Structure 1
């Protein structure tokens, strides 16, 4: 039985693991967003992405390209920095829900394994919080992560993703 005055368990492994996960997931999805917004990394830019979105049944391809690009770029950068982490995670999860619905027929090993992994990782970070090495620690309102913030943000992201899917033909 531990004493009420026992020191807390060291957070170093936990915080280091969260940092690695935030950077890997965040920078990966931010790079995908920059392909959509700016055409970086051999991406299609807004025009190419708009054409792609229209070809798969989304209305107003240009607007959808902007929404997807911003969600991925800023959601990814938010995760990487640990900035507004629950909202960043929700932005990434919402985008990945759309990707999963679009690519579902390809099967797990036909293309949905990456969005499953990115979406699950973003959700895990939103729920667990960013750890101590995060920009959120400098913002008084979000300094102390709460599970409810992450859960609420993820519900919001899923609802918005569902609304976007309602407009897809």
Structure 2
């Protein structure tokens, strides 16, 4: 029996491209960093954890940004970030996690504005995180994920990824339409 090298495919099928341990480890690292960062931001909004503002102050911020029912919007944003981030980190229902975070990022970037890309008033960090969410949704979470053990999501399913990103974009833009 030969030992698998780190840069060789572990599994190869004719229906899916070969994947390596380093490829899947890279996806795991990216999922953990981006997903847990987003989950942390969500808990800052919902519970005031990590020095966050909490639900009441976040709701006031949403109202000041022109959203109707600021408190409800704060809950929706906080849950989307928390659950979407945890889903992304775990690689659990990754397309839905990507959809939730896509809607969030569309609104974040709109509120922040596109007048500057780089700090202090730019959207550089938001764009990088959003690109990572889209990339992870499109590529799939890799084999070190919960989705790898779910038959319907075991392999990257492009139609699931594209449908989820479309769903997230539509939801994000609908929320923007109701904003003043």
Superposition TM-score, scaled by structure 1 size: 0.92
Deviation of 1:137 (Å)? 1.6
Aligned partner (choices 90, 93, 105) of residue 81 of structure 1:
90
RMSD between aligned residues: 1.3
2:70 is the counterpart of 1:61: yes
Residue in 1 that maps onto 2:113 = 104
1:131 to 111, 131, 142: 142
The structural deviation recorded for 1:106 is 4.6
Unpaired runs of at least 5, structure 2 = 1-10, 13-17
CA distance in 2, matches of 1:10, 1:131: 8
Higher helix proportion (structure 1 or 2): 1
Q: How many residues align?
A: 163
Q: Deviation above 3 Å: which 4+ runs of structure 1?
A: 7-10
Give the alignment's TM-score, normalised by structure 2: 0.87
Query: Deviations along 1:59-113, whole A, 9 cap, x unmatched?
Result: 0001100000000000000000000001101111110110001111451112311
Change over 3 Å in CA distance of 1:11–1:168 after alignment to 2: same
Q: Displacement of 1:141 after TM fit?
A: 2.5
Distance in 2 (alpha carbons) for counterparts of 1:10 and 1:136: 15
What residue number does 1:152 align with?
163
